[in-house]
Amino acid sequence: MKNIYINNPKDEYDTRWFLLKGGISDAICHDNFESFRKELWHLLVLITSRVFIDGRERDEQRLTKTLDKVILMVKGSHYFLHHKKRLIFGNDRIDIKWYRNPYRSLKKYRPKDDPKLNHHLAHFEERITQLTRKESRNFTLAFENFFSEMDISSWLNLLDDWKSCVRQGDSLPEYGADCAPLTTYEKVLSLYEACILSYHWANNTYPPPNRHLIEYYLQIEQGRYQYTNPFEMLNSCFFEIKHGKLREIIKEIYQKNNTEQKDIIKNANEVRHVLRDLIQIGWLLLQTDYFPENWVKPNSFSFLQSPIPEEEMNSWHPKSLSYKERINLRKTLSKLYYNFNVLKEIHMLDACIISYLEGKGVDCNNENFKSRDRLLKILDVLTLVSLDLIQRRTKLEGIDYPPISDVEKETKEQK
């Protein structure tokens, strides 16, 4: 009999689904994580205590169906691992390296809802609870860990014993099938979560990191917002308007009385978008613990996007930052955004730009001038970050490398 799994897919674009035909898609297509967790817990209670909740016959049908899904996942994940290696198949979404974010907000300055913001790299709206950070970045590691202590034959034999307990009305202690059913329960839950990630990967629906920050916290539609990568945003931010002119524009907008307007703002809408981007970039840089490798390489940064003219780079110093603020940009950003409402700040900026264009000048209050000083500091910090990336690219002559040398030091993995 011909084994269709030994043959390569005819179409290279079918490779993703070809690798999941072992059962993953069939196992998870009618459930979500929470409903599967409840079914699995119901199964565990029954086979460890023989407590029938909905009647024996109905429970037997329901739980046998749950076990069949688990068996499909085990077979499918093992099949994926075997054929992925045989086909020498890789993809930047699952095989790419991840580096610590060098600008992650200091713990002292993180908001109370920070765990909601981080979301294990913010791939999905739902939090990943069963997998480690490495496993959530690369679901194949979760598959490998699942089979690290027990091979596929052992897993299938164990699940057959669980099915026998359900059909015969026995309990696991009597049957002597599984001495650690809670451990099995946790491992199967982790496998299910990894299968969800594999399904999104195969279906080309892996959202970029920071997606939910853009859509849910900044309330900007993905189609309107060009980037979720703060470094890419920074790269394009200074293309049209350089640092010196942006500084003049900010000081001009935040004046008490500007009846004699300078001809400095040629395009008010463009200025508004650049200043909004600066506020958002600084905030995004602080939010997640890790960035994918292709985000933090300096190759995409060039003197065309430099905020400072090339001839001034060696002598330039930020005017709004003290020496201490310059040498620790991470702490400076963390303090600037501490108890900071990004949307409120953007609305205040819009109001000031409108007042300026109407020739009224900004209101003489502390809030507006605090906003001006904060925006000038953010501009200086992001200018230094951009210059750092450009200089590293120049030194490395185009070699891919993270922008900060210590980002390769991985912290201890936490669940």
Task: Give DSSP secondary structure letters for 383-408.
Answer: HHHHHHHHHHHHHHTT----SSGGGG
> What distance in Å separates the CA atoms of residue 58 and residue 46, rounded to the nearest whole number?
12
**Per-residue pLDDT for the chain (415 aa), expressed as one digit of tens each?**
345 555 666 666 677 777 777 788 888 888 888 899 999 998 888 888 766 555 566 777 888 889 999 999 999 999 888 888 777 776 666 777 888 888 999 999 998 888 777 655 545 666 778 888 788 888 889 999 999 989 999 999 999 988 888 887 777 766 666 678 889 999 999 999 999 888 888 877 777 778 778 877 888 766 555 678 888 888 888 887 889 989 998 988 887 665 555 666 778 888 888 999 999 999 999 988 888 887 776 555 555 578 888 788 778 889 999 999 999 999 999 999 998 889 999 998 888 888 888 777 666 667 777 888 999 999 999 999 888 877 765 554 443 434 443 333 333 433 3
What are the angstrom distances between the C-alpha of 384 and each of 329, 336, 388, 402?
Answer: 9, 15, 6, 16
Encoding tokens for residue 331?
């702490």
Residue 10: Cβ-neighbour burial (10 angstroms; 0-12, 13-18, 19+): exposed
The reported pLDDT for the residue numbered 143 is 94
Q: What per-residue confidence (pLDDT) applies to 398?
A: 42
The amino acid at residue 55 is G
- pLDDT the model gives residue 414: 38
Distance, CA of 292 to CA of 94 (rounded, Å): 10
- Report CA torsion sign: 333, 339, 342, 344: negative
Q: Name the E strands within 53-159.
A: 98-100
Hey, where are the domains in the chain?
9-111+133-206, 213-408
Per-residue pLDDT at 122: 46
Burial readout 210-229 (b: 16 or more C-beta within 10 A, e: otherwise): bbbbbbebbeeeeeeeebbb
Per-residue pLDDT at 177: 65
User: How many Å apart are CA 383 and CA 261, to the nearest integer?
Assistant: 27
* Cα(142)–Cα(132) distance, integer angstroms: 9
Q: Taking the model in full, what pTM does it have?
A: 0.78
Q: Answer for the pair 375, 278: CB distance below 8 angstroms, yes or no.
A: yes
Tokens of residue 138, six digits: 């690369």
**What does the pLDDT read at residue 215?**
78
The pair of structure tokens assigned to 338 is 């501490």
